[in-house]
Amino acid sequence: MRAVLQRVTSASVSVDGAVVGAVDRPGLVALVGVTHGDGPDQVEAMARKISELRILRDERSVLDEGAPVLVVSQFTLYADTRKGRRPSWNNAAPGAVAEPLVDAVVGALRARGVEVATGRFGAMMEVTLVNDGPVTLVVDV
C-alpha cells in the first residue's frame, strides 16, 4: 500500500462538479493506492502512519491536532514508467480488491478518532488543495 500525504490548509474533491468530500481547516490529503498482496496488515499500518506521523506544524500529528484527513483513492500511484511512454498499471490492484481496502483505511482512521472525508472510488475526480509548507511525503507500508 502506498500513500502520498500532503499537508494542507484546505482541500476538496469534486465529482461531476459537486463537492463529495472536503476539509476546511489544516489537515492532510492522503492519496491512497493499493497493490497486489495488500491486506489488513497494510491497512492498519497505513492508518497508523497517516494519523501518527508528526508532519503538521510544530511537529504535531493528525491525532495530536484533531486534524481532518481527505482520503482519495489513487491507483496511478502504482504506475510503472520505466519503459516507453505509456505507463503500465499492472502493479495496481483491481478495483474489486482495492476499493474495500481503501474503505478499510478510512474505517481504521475513523476508529482512531480521525475526522475523514473521502472522494468517490473509481470516479473521475477533481482534487483541489492548498499545500501547506509545502509538505508532501510518499509512504509505503
Condensed to tens digits (0 to 9), the pLDDT of residues 5-49 reads 999 999 999 999 999 999 999 999 999 999 999 999 999 999 999
Can 128 be counted among the known catalytic residues? no
Strands 2-15 and 27-33 come out as antiparallel
- Per DSSP, the three-state class of 41 is helix
Domains belonging to the chain, first-starting first, are: 2-83+93-140 (3.50.80.10)
Can 74 be counted among the known catalytic residues? yes
The pLDDT score that the predictor gives to residue 94 is 96
Q: What is the CA radius of gyration of the chain?
A: 14
Taking only the tens place, the pLDDT of each residue in 68-123 is: 999 999 999 999 999 999 999 999 999 999 999 999 999 999 999 999 999 999 99
Q: Which of 6, 35, 42, 75 is catalytic?
A: 75
Q: Which of 35, 42, 74, 118 is catalytic?
A: 74
Residue appearing with cell numbers 482512521: 109
Can 42 be counted among the known catalytic residues? no
Main-chain phi, psi angles of 86, to 5 degrees: -110, 120
- What distance in Å separates the CA atoms of residue 17 and residue 84, rounded to the nearest whole number? 34
- What distance in Å separates the CA atoms of residue 23 and residue 114, rounded to the nearest whole number? 12
Strands (E), 34-115: 69-73
The pLDDT score that the predictor gives to residue 61 is 98
- What distance in Å separates the CA atoms of residue 132 and residue 119, rounded to the nearest whole number? 20
The pLDDT score that the predictor gives to residue 134 is 95
10 burial class (0-12, 13-18, 19+ CB within 10 angstroms)?
middle
Are residues 32 and 72 in contact, defined by beta-carbon separation less than 8 angstroms?
yes
- Per DSSP, the three-state class of 121 is coil
